């Protein structure tokens, strides 16, 4: 029997996004890669507060990884050519973007001074499909 690889997910509050399903959607429905600004995501996810040696001051972000759940060493070996995945949600009729795959790549891009990373953006319908309610 072949072992099943663990499901890759992203948690935001009570929502869990199925990254494996998002990747299948992107394979089945290819789309253009768009640049996404690293600085915007660094700010939103407080990536500048993470330290590479896990010795930073303890803190609990409202949004994004905390020091205990982030592996800076792993981040520095990620593939910056692989597009990150951005979900599109809708609140009060307005779109809201959420980075659901690529936080480690964003951290590496920040440390290397990159201004953008390639991204795939899911539609609202696709985001609903990959989000557990």
pLDDT tens digits, one per residue of 24-51: 999 999 999 999 999 999 998 888 887 6
In a domain, 28, yes or no: no
- CATH number at 107 reads 3.90.1530
The Cα–Cα gap between 95 and 125 comes to 12
In a domain, 25, yes or no: no
Ramachandran region, residue 20 (left: φ > 0; alpha: ψ -120 to 50; beta: rest): alpha
In a domain, 37, yes or no: yes
119 DSSP β-pair partners: 34, 84
pTM higher than the cut 0.75: yes
In a domain, 72, yes or no: yes
In a domain, 24, yes or no: no
Return the beta strands (E) in the chain as ranges.
Answer: 9-12, 15-18, 34-37, 84-91, 94-101, 116-121, 131-132
Domain of 84? 33-132
In a domain, 122, yes or no: yes
In a domain, 60, yes or no: yes
Q: How many folded domains does the chain comprise? A: 1
The Cα–Cα gap between 87 and 120 comes to 9
């Amino acid at each position: 029997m072949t072992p099943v690889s663990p499901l890759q997910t992203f948690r935001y509050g009570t929502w869990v996004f199925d990254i494996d399903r998002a990747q299948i959607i992107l394979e089945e429905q290819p789309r253009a890669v768009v640049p996404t600004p690293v600085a915007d995501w660094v700010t939103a996810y407080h990536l500048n507060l993470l330290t590479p040696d896990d010795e930073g001051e303890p803190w609990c972000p409202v949004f994004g990884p905390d020091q205990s759940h982030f592996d800076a060493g792993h981040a520095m070996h990620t593939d910056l050519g692989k597009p990150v995945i951005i979900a599109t949600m809708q609140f009060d009729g307005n779109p809201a973007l959420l980075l659901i795959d690529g936080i480690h790549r964003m951290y590496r891009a920040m440390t290397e001074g990159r201004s953008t990373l390639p991204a795939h953006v899911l539609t609202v319908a696709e985001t609903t499909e990959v989000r557990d309610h």
